[in-house]
């Protein structure tokens, strides 16, 4: 028995990724799936309809893509798109369950089994399914390139006949996947890099990349949760932290912020005072802009110039690298599909830690406890 997988074209403004690439479609086709790709779905990621057809896919209209047994997406579905899904179907993609839990409720009401890529547990077995880490690495890389392009200075040390050019000072706030990739990229470009994180456990990772670990005189205790994310600081410590960061921010040419806590507004790290301590021409890349931003002056989706300092509130840095972003994302989706499908189709398994952690709706109900709690509150 063959089952169908649909790949709709992403319609969210500025989104250029596609959920499955021709390479992954070919592997799914060989495993017995019938893949149906909406016409033009891969265009913005530089994959033509012909590329998909060469790997065994059928090119269909929008209804054809959403009418499949399993539908894969990048962005959370709109109300219109949820209406195109049929009861009993499966949706795999980013769903913003902790920020927009009502999407999960709408999917449950539609009778859809939905797996949220954001909620894949951070355990060893699920690393191949960790779409957040895959795209965070790309975002960290791209953030530094954007900063280097905006900064009116060289990143590396240069010795020329006209004199020596000193390297740029780059500060990275938050040393998760995005932050570590930002550190590595800035170092490869020749900058002098320092980094700060409230988790003492990442000190060695920061130093192993050739960056200096910034120490603040503030007691942190255990600041990492079971999922590897930084915990929220108490209000008093958070205020103390922002004050202590001001001199480090002030002497930086570039600051890249990456601090996010799932389901909460981004923590404030850069105050107006800190921005005003920076030299004109300096750059702040706020990777937490989708959740409000780590900088007090950030406007999501915009670049603000304050006192000559550019504050970039990019909300989708991976979209600037759609080829590799789509490639890595598609492989994480493939890993999910391989674990929970057979020749007969999709096989829900709530005894499986990964499935139970990622599944938000099933059989007409919201089944994820944290999402249910958010809906009730």
Query: Which residue numbers are catalytic?
Result: 122, 127, 130, 133, 229
Assign 10 to helix, strand or coil. coil
What is d(CA 94, CA 10) in angstroms, rounded to the nearest whole number? 12
What is d(CA 281, CA 377) in angstroms, rounded to the nearest whole number? 44
End-to-end, the C-alpha distance of the chain in Å comes to: 43
Q: What are phi and psi of 194, to 5 degrees?
A: -130, 160
- How does DSSP classify residue 231? P
Cα distances (angstroms) measured from residue 312 to each of 169, 286, 306? 18, 6, 11
What is d(CA 296, CA 257) in angstroms, rounded to the nearest whole number? 12
Strand 70-72 and strand 90-93: pairing?
parallel
CB 365 within 8 A of CB 108: yes
Q: What are phi and psi of 171, to 5 degrees?
A: -115, 125
Q: How many CA atoms lie within 13 A of 24 on its CB side?
A: 26
Q: What are phi and psi of 23, to 5 degrees?
A: -55, -50
Q: Output Rg (C-alpha) for the chain, integer angstroms.
A: 22
The token pair that represents 251 in the structure block: 């002497």
CB 81 within 8 A of CB 12: no
Residue-wise DSSP of 182-206: HHHHHHHTT-EEEEE-S-GGGHHHH
CB atoms within 10 A of CB 273: 13
- Per the document, the length of the chain is 377
What is d(CA 90, CA 324) in angstroms, rounded to the nearest whole number? 25
Longest C-alpha distance within the chain, in Å?
72
């Amino acid at each position: 028995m063959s089952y169908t997988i649909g790949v709709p074209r992403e319609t969210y403004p500025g989104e250029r990724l596609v959920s499955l690439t021709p390479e992954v479609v070919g592997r799914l086709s060989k495993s017995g799936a019938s893949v149906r790709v909406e016409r033009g779905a891969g265009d913005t990621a530089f994959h033509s309809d012909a590329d998909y057809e060469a790997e065994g896919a059928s090119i269909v209209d929008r209804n054809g893509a959403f009418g499949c047994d399993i539908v894969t997406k990048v962005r959370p579905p709109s109300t219109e798109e949820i209406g195109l899904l049929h009861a009993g179907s499966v949706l795999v993609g980013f769903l913003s369950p902790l920020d927009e839990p009502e999407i999960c409720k709408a999917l449950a009401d539609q009778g859809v089994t939905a797996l949220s890529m954001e909620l894949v547990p951070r355990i060893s077995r699920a690393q191949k399914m960790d779409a957040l880490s895959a795209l965070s690495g790309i975002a960290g890389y791209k953030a530094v390139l954007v900063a280097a392009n905006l900064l009116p200075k060289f990143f590396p040390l240069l010795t020329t006949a006209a004199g020596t050019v000193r390297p740029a000072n780059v500060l990275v706030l938050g040393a998760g996947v995005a932050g570590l990739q930002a550190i590595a990229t800035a170092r490869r470009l020749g900058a002098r890099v320092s980094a700060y994180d409230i988790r003492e456990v990442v000190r060695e990772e920061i130093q192993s990349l050739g960056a200096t670990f910034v120490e603040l005189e503030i007691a942190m205790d255990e600041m990492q949760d079971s999922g590897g994310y930084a915990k929220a600081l108490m209000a008093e410590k958070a205020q103390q932290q922002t004050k202590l960061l001001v001199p480090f921010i002030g002497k930086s040419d570039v600051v890249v912020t990456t601090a996010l806590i799932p389901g909460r507004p981004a923590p404030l790290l850069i105050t107006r005072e800190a921005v005003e301590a920076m030299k004109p021409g300096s750059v702040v890349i706020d990777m937490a802009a989708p959740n409000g931003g780590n900088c007090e002056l950030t406007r999501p989706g915009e670049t603000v110039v304050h006192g000559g300092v550019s504050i970039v509130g990019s909300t989708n840095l991976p979209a600037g690298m759609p080829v590799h972003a789509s490639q890595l994302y598609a492989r994480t989706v493939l890993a999910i599909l391989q674990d929970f499908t057979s020749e007969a189709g999709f096989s829900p398994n709530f005894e499986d830690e990964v499935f139970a952690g990622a599944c938000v709706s099933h059989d007409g109900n919201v089944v994820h406890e944290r999402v249910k709690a958010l809906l009730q509150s």
